Amino acid sequence: MKNHVIVGSRLLQTNKKWSHLKQSQRMWIIDVTKKEVAAYISEHGHLPGKSGRRNILDKVHDRILEREIWLPYGEIKIHVCKFIASAVRKYVNREEDNEANQKPANIQ
């Protein structure tokens, strides 16, 4: 029991990894991350920088704790930051595609 702690009436594993989560829990965390990134961009009008990513990470962490999914903050930081970067890249690529489609073609 060196890797477990009793919190209230629950026994928690202190060295839990991302791979120990159920697939549904992982997908929920990814969806929450995407929604938080979209909310940040719509609220601030620009892509998140270093402090913006930290804010998104904190919001996602709070929502994970509300859902009572126990995972160390370091594990959340590693994996959620990857999803934030991925969501930002997808957003930038989508915006570039929209701009390319809106430009009129010069037909001669």
> 12 vs 70, which has greater pLDDT?
70
Query: Whole-prediction pTM value?
Result: 0.76
Domain ranges of the chain: 17-99
Residue 23's pLDDT is: 93
Burial class (CB in 10 A: 0-12, 13-18, 19+), 4: exposed
- What are phi and psi for residue 5, nearest 5 degrees? -135, 140
Return the number of other C-beta atoms located less than 10 Å from residue 60's C-beta: 22
